[in-house]
Structure formats: structure tokens, C-alpha cells
Amino acid sequence: MLRQRVIIRTLGVATAVALAATACGPQKTEPAGSASKVPSASAAGSTPETSPSTDDKPADASPSPSPSASASQSASPSASPSPTVKAIMANGDESEQVRELQARLKQLKYMTVAPTGFYGSKTTAAVKSFQSKNGLTASGAVDDATWKKVQSVSKKPTADELRPPTVNEVDAPDPRCMTGRVMCISKESRTLAWMIDGKIVSTMDVRFGSENTPTREGQFKVEWKAKDWTSTIYHTPMPYSMFFSQGQAVHYSADFAARGYAGASHGCVNVRDKGKLASLFEQVQVGDKVVVYW
């Protein structure tokens, strides 16, 4: 509290009002109807598809044939069982090959979320759609024929395509973000883009307040910064805080990093990538623009 009083006396009466309202902190549950929804790229708990039975028995129940008849039947091609198509990748798998598959399907517009490396329900649905539109058996699992077809109609993914800077796809910048130095924050895509003179320098995923404690929208400016700060109301850490509207700030949230969009803030703009935010904190200056929009 002594350190906070020193800061308040230094910054003056106007800032003291802001300090008194640094109310940000994680909410334990997300209220019904909140705009924050989990942008999961896959459903880890989804049930894998079962493969067709290879154990089908003939309809007739005739006695077992003699050894000579059995040998004759085994030699007959028509008596051989159909070979089972082997899946290269399927629901429940997790690998770098799955990540590449997802990146290629995203190129082809069959997926909209960023690659995760986990083969879940969304990847299964995307593969089925691709197979249906390309004359392949729509099993939802990737066999050799499907993988070769995907490779033939897409290009080898770049590093950024395999591991994009945000899980959420960055929204088109608001017109107010196109000039000067600005933290351009989209509620629709749940992303923050640090922009200078209309060019995106870096991006990161963000989380907002709930319906009961919404993050304010509009154009603001960075009023003050604090590398190490604790909410004066909720007593939760707010590292790398950049305050832009009374007690609301862009800051790192350990709760967001741990729980994702299952929670919400009390109005602040939460960032879950501490390294990226630490770098942004060093670049942003007091007075830089902040735009929060849908």
C-alpha cells in the first residue's frame, strides 16, 4: 500500500481515481450468454470412429469343408476377404503430421481454426467434407489416398501456417487503427494487434470481461503503465498492466493462460502469452492509442 500511495501522489488526482478502480481480476465462471466462448480447435473428448468389422461370417452354416476343399477355396481369389484400408491419421491422434494436415485443410478452406496437432471432431468433420467433395470414402479418417489427394491440391505449410501467432484469426483492423501507434483490440476475433502506421507488428489472443462487467469499447489512450501491479479490489496479480480506461487495462492473466475462455475478466483485456505481452509492454508508450471494437 505504501508503494501505491507514492504512485498516487506522483501521478496526481486524476490518476488516483483510476488507481482506486483497478478492479480487474479473473471471474470464476463465465456467465450464461457471455460473448467469450471456447475457440477450441478440436474436441479432445470426442469418441473415435469405429472401423468396419473385419470379422463378418458367411450367411450359410454348412459343415466345415474337407481339407482339400478348404485349400481349393483358399486359393480362390473370390474367397479372399477384402483388405482393410489402413488409416494414417484418425480421431484421437496427436502429431506433427496432424498439424500439417490441419494447416493444409485450412489453406483449402475446410478448416477455419489454427492447427493444434490434435485430431478431434473438427478435423474429422473437415476430412469428411474433403473426402465427399473429392470422390473419396467419407470416413473422416485419413488413409493413404486421402493424404495424397490433400497434398496434391495444397502447398507445404509455412512455419507461420503451422504455428500461427494466435489461435484466433486476426480480424480486419478498425479504421481508427490505421494511423499512429495503436493497440487494436477486436472483441469479435478476440485478438490484439499492435500496429504502427497501419502495419501489424505483433498479435496475441485476448479475453474480455463478462456481460456483467464488460470491457469498454471505443478509442482510448494508454494512461499509465505498471510492470508489476496487483488489483486494489480483487488483490490478484496484473503483470504488465497498460491502463487505458479508468481501472481497465491490458495485462497478463495466469487464469486466462490456465483456463482459456472458460473464464472472464472483470473488464480488463487479458493476455495469456506472457512473453509476447512483455515484449509489447516495452514497446508501448504512455499516450499510444487503444481501440476496442466489435
Tell me the C-alpha distance between 224 and 244, whole Å.
Answer: 7
Amino acid at 202: S
Strand-pairing partners, residue 195, are 182, 200
Alpha-carbon distances of 231 from 23, 25, 160, rounded to whole Å: 6, 7, 36
Cα-trace Rg, the chain: 27
Catalytic residue among 24, 177, 184, 251: 251
- What the block records as the C-alpha cell of 124 is 474429422
Alpha-carbon distances of 104 from 7, 48, 100, 101, 154, rounded to whole Å: 52, 22, 6, 5, 6
For residue 52, the 8-state DSSP code is P
What is the residue whose three cell numbers read 508508450? Answer: 285
Amino acid at 189: S
3-class secondary structure per residue, 72-124: HHHHCHHHCCCCCCCEEECCCCECHHHHHHHHHHHHCCCCCCCCCCECCHHHH
For 255, the 3-state DSSP assignment is: helix
Phi, psi of 50 (to 5 degrees): -90, 140
254: exposed, middle or buried (Cβ count in 10 Å: 0-12, 13-18, 19+): middle
- What the block records as the C-alpha cell of 130 is 474433403
235 noted as active-site residue = no
Amino acid at 250: V
184 noted as active-site residue = no
Catalytic residue among 24, 177, 184, 268: 268
- The catalytic site residues sit at 251, 268
